[in-house]
Structure 1
Amino acid sequence: MNDVKLNETTGGVGLIRKTFQVLDMFDVETPAWSQADLVRKSGMNRSTLSRVVRYLHSSGYLMFNEQNSKYMLGIAAVELGRRASNSFDLRVISGSVVEQLALQEKETVILTSYQEGQGFVTCLDQVHASQGGLSVFEKLGAVFPLHAGASPKAILLALSPDQREDYYKQDLKSFTPATITDPDKLRAHIEEYAARGFAVSREETYPGVIGVAAPIVVNGRPLGSIALSVPIQRTTESKIERWSVLVRKAVQQIADQANGLHLQQEVPLK
């Protein structure tokens, strides 16, 4: 039962923005806040913040812990997150970007998905190369560990240093002689490409195949990756540099869409 209402008479859109500002402050690093800390951190005046917090509390989006006098996300927020997770479809959000990139480059573009805590990516979608001759394709639903191939390694780039170190401790399977299975070499390799924002695979999962990929990162978390996968015969170093720019632009477009940013016009991939 909501005894506090936010409507046109209490600030309109500006107050709605303040409401989401408060909700966004509750994260993994700081899951609980006192009202005084919320005032200091948000920069709102005390009366406005108090009204926002009262509304969120009465709506179930915040709960109050009497033991430490702090607020935490409530059941309504948890349920909203669950519904969003169940309805979120990375393939739908990414579809036009994947198709545009494949059409422009005439090479295979692969979309993978990643679930937090897993040690692999899953091939979610792909658009096959449209030019003649050799082409690369991957089986939908195929999985690859994070150390093998451009699409999986793109996820490693986006993980925290601690998460990477945990992964390096695993048994690193070899798929081809080019697969990097030595933890020290893999660490150095990932650190080099993490600074550049993209991953490159040279015959690490399939002989004769080069991959260039970047991670799709939303709210600081990798959701998957976009990769151009090309026969080695059609690959040059200058093309790899070009593709590295294109996949980074592609994942940024997808992240913007996932964040609900409505662009006035589509940004072309150049």
Structure 2
Amino acid sequence: MPRVVPAVNRALDVLELFLDHPQLSARQVMERLDLPRTTVHELLVTLEARSYLISVPGQPVQYRLGMPLFQLGAAFSGRLDLVREAQCVARDVAAACDEAVHVAVLDGSDVIYLVKFDSTHPVRMVSAVGRRLPAHCTAVGKILLSGLDKAGLDAVLAKGDLLGMTPASITDPDLLREHLDRVRAESVAVDVGESDTAMRCVAAPVRDHSGATIAAMSLSAPIIRWTPQAHVEWAGLVREGAATLSARMGYRAPTR
């Protein structure tokens, strides 16, 4: 087996400290990594020589990340493909539950489905990639609307009346705002027959490197299979799937 190079490992450990701290001193690096002073000094000198770390102007004992890391990040970001990554993750989630899994994005007041994996059951959700539905009637849509700031949500609601797809659809703007507050707090949304009376759906947000909600992943099943136990299990699956896709899109969950 190829050998992991300890010095490279330690250098990466140093760089990863700066994910949570805008700047650090040599002493802080030493304390956080529990490394000898000489080792830390050599690592910092090497990283600074390659401009991966730079001394903070006016504070020579303080370091911050350098431009090459931004360039590497930009190169990685430019190669990310939401649809390609979503297909990989959604396929795994669908295989784990044998129910329909979708990934959708917001387009004005509607959602557009980018990815779909069907269940193998005879009774299943009828949908298609490219299909457009009113955001307020779907679990993915409610996730995406909850990710908007107040001005963004106001702009969406100003486009026209909230038309219902079923009697369960939320068509009152004030009720929708209250509902989205709960969705935002819980980071999960449920469609209880709001787009199709025979179906139930649960969705979670997909975030990018900045933490912005760029898509939503959902799991849908007919009411005949939507038991309380299944609801809990599937909500967990879709949360995990959305978190995995978010990580692939560069999102890093805050440390507690």
- Could you state the TM-score of these two structures normalised by the residue count of structure 2? 0.68
Match of 1:16 in 2: 8
- Structure 2: state its 5+ residue gaps: 251-256
Are 1:87 and 2:79 counterparts?
yes
CA distance in 1 between counterparts of 2:223 and 2:171 reads 16
Are 1:186 and 2:180 counterparts?
yes
Change (3 A) 1:104 1:20: closer
Query: Given that residues 178 and 203 in structure 1 are in contact (C-alpha distance below 8 angstroms), is that contact kept between their aligned partners in structure 2?
Result: no
SS in structure 2 opposite 1:22? helix
Match of 1:151 in 2: 140
Change (3 A) 1:80 1:132: same
Query: Given that residues 123 and 222 in structure 2 are in contact (C-alpha distance below 8 angstroms), is that contact kept between their aligned partners in structure 1?
Result: no
When structure 1 is superposed on structure 2, of 67-76 and 133-142 the one drifting more is: 133-142
Over aligned residue pairs, what C-alpha RMSD do you find?
Answer: 4.1
Question: 1:33 deviation in Å?
Answer: 2.3
SS in structure 2 opposite 1:136? coil
Query: Given that residues 211 and 228 in structure 1 are in contact (C-alpha distance below 8 angstroms), is that contact kept between their aligned partners in structure 2?
Result: yes
SS in structure 2 opposite 1:15? helix
Question: 1:226 deviation in Å?
Answer: 2.6
CA distance in 2 between counterparts of 1:170 and 1:43 reads 51
Question: 1:79 deviation in Å?
Answer: 0.6
Match of 2:59 in 1: 68
CA distance in 2 between counterparts of 1:21 and 1:73 reads 13
Query: Given that residues 178 and 202 in structure 1 are in contact (C-alpha distance below 8 angstroms), is that contact kept between their aligned partners in structure 2?
Result: no
SS in structure 2 opposite 1:140? coil
Query: Given that residues 100 and 124 in structure 2 are in contact (C-alpha distance below 8 angstroms), is that contact kept between their aligned partners in structure 1?
Result: no
Match of 1:124 in 2: 114
Are 1:136 and 2:154 counterparts?
no
Query: Given that residues 217 and 241 in structure 2 are in contact (C-alpha distance below 8 angstroms), is that contact kept between their aligned partners in structure 1?
Result: yes
- Could you state the TM-score of these two structures normalised by the residue count of structure 1? 0.65
Deviations 1:120-161 (A, max 9, x none): 97643111344335623244386976x76323545688x7xx
Query: Given that residues 139 and 191 in structure 2 are in contact (C-alpha distance below 8 angstroms), is that contact kept between their aligned partners in structure 1?
Result: yes
Match of 2:203 in 1: 213
Change (3 A) 1:256 1:55: same
CA distance in 2 between counterparts of 1:56 and 1:35 reads 12
CA distance in 1 between counterparts of 2:110 and 2:22 reads 28
- Residue 242 of structure 1 aligns with an amino acid whose one-letter code is E
Change (3 A) 1:45 1:134: closer
